[in-house]
Structure 1
Amino acid sequence: MASSSVNKLSLWSLTALVVGSMIGAGIFSLPATFGRATGGFGAIIAWCIAGGGMLMLAFVFQSLAQRKPDLDSGVFIYAKEGFGDYLGFASALGFWAGTCIGNVSYFVLLKSTLGAFFPVFGDGNTISALVVSSIILWGFHFLVLNGVKNAATINTIATVAKIVPIIAFVGVLIFAFQSDIFMLNFWGSPAAVPVTPDLEHLNDYGYAGHAAAAIMPAQEPESLFSQIRSTMLVTVFVFLGIEGASVYSRYAKERRHVGIASVMGFIGVLGLLVLVTLLSYGVLLRPELAGLRQPSMAGVLEAVVGPWGRVFISVGLIVSVLGAYLSWSLLAAEVLFSAAKHKSMPKVFMTENKHDVPSAAVWLTNITIQVFLILMLFSQYAFQLAIELTSSLTLIPYLLVAAYGLKLAWTGETYETDKRDHRKDLTFALLATLYALLMLYAGGMKYLLLSAVIYGPGTVLYIMAKREQRVALFNKTELGIFAIVMVAAIAAIYSIATGIITI
């Protein structure tokens, strides 16, 4: 692909790619998702873990951008450089597949949002919803084919537009925030807790119809660790896109902008995520939050200001989802193109059109998304499944990036003549690696096995690439890894067929 000055992106455009990629469907689902899982205290701990871990990963991306400026293909190329061809391929495949399924989750939530106003869309699983989603999908497909720079410009505009309702939501909730409600939610206790007697103050802020949840239901006690664990894959999902600037590093006007954009975008998004989550605990009780229809942010604002609040947030979600979809489509195509360029994917994905866009990669990405959209017609829990499977798939590439940063710092490579930041980089990379491992554990075996269903059979693309080059497929270590992945894939398919795993 061409890298002329026409296609170069500024620091703010790179930052917008990061923010645009990270702020999508996830932030609009946080109030109900966290309300079902934990209280305010657990949410604070969860965001400290997720924010700290992802910040370490952002620092690793920043360090690698500076120390390995020749590696300009982001997530995929770090894994290949550090751990060989097969794990490099697996990183590219996992990131690409996670992006495709993530885009499906965007469409599911988009259709569910419209379903609140137009019953023909239902919960996003009707034929009408499929037709509209398909039209949007292929509309963006041809937009992307017309040029990466044009699509990136539209994404920058969409990023600004979608942040406005989120900031407005935060502003309204700051004024509506009730400390007594927040304290009732704080410990996440499942014991029956009566609502504060002063219910009149709720109506001062436009609350209506919540008296039915005046008593928090009594349940069996759930440990704080279990509460926090149930939020982990969701926190990963809302941070996906942090690698956006790194993937597009070769378009940056200045190389140093890559790391700066990653950290700036991350910090801004983290602040919004925390505020949306914690402020919601100060206006509705946990049973009310847990019972909200997704996008639950719309329900929270409706409870505070009335019906127009749901409309306002729903419009913001539509803009957000469309902008994030555009960002993720760009990321997915770029990773396939880069993998083919570095001989880890079939060379067909290097095919470019007259606009220097990897057209074959774009076509495969959107055909795959279309197939998953059709399959979603038969899925009962499509949104939750898509979120958690996307997170699990993408954690593998993130783990390999963090591990590569750790490998460089541990061996001292690139630090021979410049020992500045050596110890700091080692610490950041170690913490990022441990965080990725913790998230995989928190996600549970189910999603690791489901990920193997994609990683295992998907290896056929790697085999095709190696056949084109007429070289050996695996070394001994890679063959062992492939065997483990295939065993896991077979176990997952068996578990789905017998009902052990439900999807």
Structure 2
Amino acid sequence: MATPTETSTSGKLSLPTLTAMVVGGMVGAGVFSLPRNFAQATGVFGAMIAWAIAGFGMLMLAFVFQTLAVRKPDLNAGVYAYAKAGFGEFPGFFSAFGYWASACVGNVSYWVLIKSTIGAVVPSFGEGNTILAVVVSAAGVWAFHYMITRGVKEAAAINRIVTVAKLVPILLFVVIIAIAFKGGTFGANWWGGSEGLADQVRATMLVTVFVFLGVEGASVYSRYARRREDVGKATVLGFVSVLALFASVSILSYGVLPQAELAELRQPSMGGVLESVVGSWGAAFIGIGLIVSVLGAYLAWTLMAAEVLVVAAKDDDMPRFLRRENAHGAPVAALVLTSALITAVLATTLFSDDAFTFTLKLCSSLSLVPYLLAAGYALKIAGGRGRELVVAVLAVIYTAFLIFAAGLEFLLLSCIVYAPGTVLFVMTRRERGGRIFSPAELALFVLVAAGAVAGIAGLATGLITI
């Protein structure tokens, strides 16, 4: 999951600077978990195919957001604005709510990863899903909440530290693992498990979505570019660099440990891979870099999540109470709702056998609706523009495939999150004195509510496990 990147309006940005901002904005905490997550799903060959599909698909999405930023500069209220413009207020609301909920669930994965890292030293933290781990994480959530409400709104300085903290250990990891690479181990890991190749690749899709979250951020740099055409170049150069880094971390790890051992590593699994080569300092080095990176990323994403609600409320797409700010200028109502959802999802990790993978996949699933609707809007306005039409079609196909790859389980779990969120939509419509649902909107709500009921029934009967 990437870290939202701040930029300044002073001056114009060159191609190298734009490219560096794209890279810094996309490399997040998810990369630290890649060796185990990929080894649980597939072998070397499947991993290569998965990165090729994910890289191509996410690049199409990046081009979609770049195109929309240029063609629709008036739609500056976030990703959800494209869904609203293309498909109406209720889909727009779902897009805003889903994007916000995805950010909140992603923040839970940060806490799980931190506590799992500490758990290597303090066993009572387990893999981030013990009672002690959840209680300490919840205390951390509300400590950050208090800090932000006291007026901590600028995360630029923290993000500079975060960028160094996350890139240095990752790059050092790649260099050391490349030197320690064993061809025999790599070859033995080539084909993966007993499942078919298609199923193996499908099982990696939500992992790749998670590490690429924030791909839409590249489009926001258009107005700061020294030359407008540099934005497209920076998008491609930055994205390809990040793709190469992510693929290197996951694929090179297959040349160090057998797949079965990679799949059993505790998170952050990069630490376990490095430890197997250089000793215990490797895990500590990765762990320290991860904790600094993740805490900074948590602050940035909490601010971003609250901002989604505030902007939507100012556009009359969320209830007015979410506009409320305290004396320090912090969006206190939006922050309370954000911290509350993070705490609630933290509590669910107590019932999860693999809390990090669960939150990773749920975060990715929730992000798919906003991405699909944005791609659909790009397709809707493409008209006779050949390149834009092709890119939009490919982006729609990719995001639709991701929803299929997520599987029915995570689709129903997403409905459990979406359905109660509709209360906010009802509040908004009542404030405006309008009709609550149009016939089409009511049909959509019934469909989502039915999915939520089915999801709850699945959890209760054990057909769905987390």
TM-score, length of structure 1 as denominator length: 0.84
Q: Structure 1 pair 15/84, CA: closer, same or farther in 2 (3 Å)?
A: farther
Alignment pair present for 1:55 and 2:59: yes
The residue correspondences of 1:305-316 to structure 2 (distance < 5 A) are: 305-316=278-289
Deviates more, 1:114-123 or 1:304-313: 114-123
Alignment pair present for 1:478 and 2:441: yes
Cα contact 2:62–2:218 (8 A) shared by 1: no
Q: Structure 1 pair 355/327, CA: closer, same or farther in 2 (3 Å)?
A: same
**From 127, 133, 136, the counterpart of 1:132:** 136
SS in 1 for 2:189: helix
Q: CA deviation at 1:150?
A: 1.9
- Structure 2 CA distance for aligned equivalents of residues 253 and 482 of structure 1: 42
Taking only the aligned residue pairs, the percentage that are identical comes to 56
Cα contact 1:341–1:347 (8 A) shared by 2: yes
Q: Structure 1 pair 483/20, CA: closer, same or farther in 2 (3 Å)?
A: farther
**What is the aligned partner in structure 1 of residue 205 from structure 2?**
232
SS in 1 for 2:28: coil
**What is the aligned partner in structure 2 of residue 203 from structure 1?**
none
Q: Structure 1 pair 276/307, CA: closer, same or farther in 2 (3 Å)?
A: same
The residue correspondences of 1:82-481 to structure 2 (distance < 5 A) are: 82-145=86-149, 150-188=154-192, 190=193, 221-244=194-217, 263=236, 265-353=238-326, 356-410=329-383, 422-481=385-444
Deviates more, 1:108-117 or 1:479-488: 479-488
Cα contact 1:63–1:259 (8 A) shared by 2: no
**What is the aligned partner in structure 1 of residue 3 from structure 2?**
none
- Structure 2 CA distance for aligned equivalents of residues 370 and 430 of structure 1: 38
- Structure 1 CA distance for aligned equivalents of residues 455 and 38 of structure 2: 28
- Structure 2 CA distance for aligned equivalents of residues 270 and 335 of structure 1: 27
- Structure 1 CA distance for aligned equivalents of residues 365 and 254 of structure 2: 28
- Structure 1 CA distance for aligned equivalents of residues 147 and 428 of structure 2: 29
Cα contact 2:66–2:218 (8 A) shared by 1: no
- Structure 1 CA distance for aligned equivalents of residues 24 and 150 of structure 2: 20
Q: CA deviation at 1:318?
A: 0.9
Deviates more, 1:223-232 or 1:248-257: 248-257
Structural RMSD (CA): 2.7
Structure number with bigger Rg: 1
> Which consecutive residues of structure 1, in runs of 5 or more, have no partner in the other structure?
191-220, 413-421
Q: Structure 1 pair 131/361, CA: closer, same or farther in 2 (3 Å)?
A: same
Letter in 2 for 1:402: A
Cα contact 2:22–2:234 (8 A) shared by 1: yes
Q: CA deviation at 1:131?
A: 4.0
Partner deviation per Cα, 1:142-173 (whole Å, 9 max, x = no partner): 44445576213312321222111000000111
The residue correspondences of 1:26-65 to structure 2 (distance < 5 A) are: 26-65=30-69
Cα contact 1:62–1:260 (8 A) shared by 2: no
- Structure 2 CA distance for aligned equivalents of residues 329 and 9 of structure 1: 28
Cα contact 1:55–1:263 (8 A) shared by 2: yes
> Which consecutive residues of structure 2, in runs of 5 or more, have no partner in the other structure?
1-6
Partner deviation per Cα, 1:192-218 (whole Å, 9 max, x = no partner): xxxxxxxxxxxxxxxxxxxxxxxxxxx
Q: CA deviation at 1:263?
A: 4.9
Deviates more, 1:445-454 or 1:356-365: 356-365
Q: CA deviation at 1:478?
A: 1.9
Partner deviation per Cα, 1:369-389 (whole Å, 9 max, x = no partner): 123223333433322211111
**From 57, 81, 84, the counterpart of 1:80:** 84
SS in 2 for 1:380: coil
TM-score, length of structure 2 as denominator length: 0.90
Alignment pair present for 1:490 and 2:463: no
Q: CA deviation at 1:15?
A: 6.9
Q: CA deviation at 1:57?
A: 0.3
- Structure 2 CA distance for aligned equivalents of residues 408 and 358 of structure 1: 34
Q: CA deviation at 1:222?
A: 1.8
